[in-house]
């Protein structure tokens, strides 16, 4: 039996790769792609999702456009990392598929209510769509089997000294989701910064044939330049596919159960994931937090899946 999943994303270079992994790996059944404002505006992230689906012939999966700004804050994007389009680098033709007319939040609610409680949500952007769906229709909560998300950090952030971008972009939404009571796996920067597209990985990727591996190589070439200029990384980290891989292979990431809260008001810590590593709050664990990645296992899983296109 394949695991049923919905990918909620903001493509985004690494979101695009996460979409390719979720759509083709034989362990998963991708029910829908929902888009949200994050790396760029929701109009741009939605267009990027359609372009990826068109290129990779992912035409049977509905793509729905979601929230265009956070719950209570103005929109904040990541053009310094992902460019003006949100997915700068590859030259891509216009998409051959279209958005479904349904709003992403409505689609999430409908699919979850109709499910047998066997759907895992994979958010790889700000949690605005997920939080809005939970607020609008609390009956979906018991229908969510689990949530595997990319976001947060145990220690330092990547958009402020304290916060990771996805959580910082809509901390109120993150606070609602982290308190929802469903099983949550958090794949933080500590894990994704180990998922580097090194020179050896790029050689393996470029040795593959077909338009999809070539597209991913182009994505990572641009991403490498961004991360070198902004963060000084020697190779780019592939954040979002880690949250998908975590669901496919339980041994690809090592975890620790802990209580995680979201800081929404701190002067220096707004958007921080407060990870109670040592149980100092005496609050029960609510999140399974990743801390280490099996590098070779992760990249073999990802590259083997790309080879299927």
- Tell me how far apart the alpha carbons of residues 18 and 38 are, in angstroms, rounded to a whole number: 15
10, 14, 15, 170: which is the annotated catalytic residue?
10
| Beta-carbon count within 10 A of 203 CB | 9
* Residues 120 and 148: beta-carbon distance below 8 Å: yes
- Tell me how far apart the alpha carbons of residues 301 and 307 are, in angstroms, rounded to a whole number: 10
Per the annotation, the verdict on 15 as an active-site residue is: no
- Tell me how far apart the alpha carbons of residues 248 and 239 are, in angstroms, rounded to a whole number: 15
- Tell me how far apart the alpha carbons of residues 114 and 111 are, in angstroms, rounded to a whole number: 5
- Tell me how far apart the alpha carbons of residues 35 and 66 are, in angstroms, rounded to a whole number: 5
- Tell me how far apart the alpha carbons of residues 236 and 215 are, in angstroms, rounded to a whole number: 16
- Tell me how far apart the alpha carbons of residues 9 and 150 are, in angstroms, rounded to a whole number: 10
Q: Which of 290, 124, 289, 298 is nearest to 195 (CA)?
A: 298
- Tell me how far apart the alpha carbons of residues 127 and 147 are, in angstroms, rounded to a whole number: 11
At 71 the three-state DSSP class reads: coil
In the chain, the DSSP E strands lie at 3-9, 28-35, 63-65, 119-123, 144-150, 184-187, 253-262, 273-276, 287-293
Q: Which residues are tagged catalytic?
A: 10
């Amino acid at each position: 039996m394949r695991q049923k999943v919905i990918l909620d994303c903001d493509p985004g270079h690494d979101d695009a790769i996460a979409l390719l992994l979720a759509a083709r790996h034989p362990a998963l059944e991708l029910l829908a792609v929902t888009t949200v404002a994050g790396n760029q505006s929701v109009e741009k992230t939605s267009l990027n999702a359609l372009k990826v689906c068109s290129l990779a012939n992912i035409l049977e999966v509905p793509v729905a456009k979601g929230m265009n700004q956070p719950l209570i804050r103005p929109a904040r994007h990541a053009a310094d990392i992902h460019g003006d389009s949100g997915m700068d680098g590859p030259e891509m033709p216009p998409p051959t598929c279209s958005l479904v007319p349904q709003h992403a939040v409505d689609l999430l609610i409908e699919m979850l209510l109709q499910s047998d409680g066997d759907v895992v949500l994979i958010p790889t952007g700000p949690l605005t769509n997920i939080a809005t769906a939970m607020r609008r229709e609390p009956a979906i909560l018991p229908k969510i089997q689990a949530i595997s998300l990319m976001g947060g950090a145990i220690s330092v952030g990547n958009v402020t000294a304290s916060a990771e971008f996805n959580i910082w972009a809509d901390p109120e939404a993150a606070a609602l989701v982290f308190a929802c009571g469903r099983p949550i796996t958090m794949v933080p920067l500590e894990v994704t910064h180990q998922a580097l597209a090194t020179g050896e990985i790029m050689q393996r990727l470029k040795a593959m044939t077909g338009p999809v591996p070539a597209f991913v190589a182009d994505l990572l070439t641009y991403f490498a330049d961004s991360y070198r200029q902004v963060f000084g990384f020697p190779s780019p980290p592939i954040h979002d596919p880690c949250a998908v891989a975590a669901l496919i292979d339980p041994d690809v990431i090592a975890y620790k159960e802990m209580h995680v809260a979201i800081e929404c008001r701190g002067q220096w810590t707004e958007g921080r994931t407060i990870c109670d590593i040592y149980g100092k709050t005496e609050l029960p664990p609510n999140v399974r937090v990743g801390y280490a990645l099996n590098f070779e296992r992760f990249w073999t899983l990802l590259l083997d899946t790309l080879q299927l296109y």
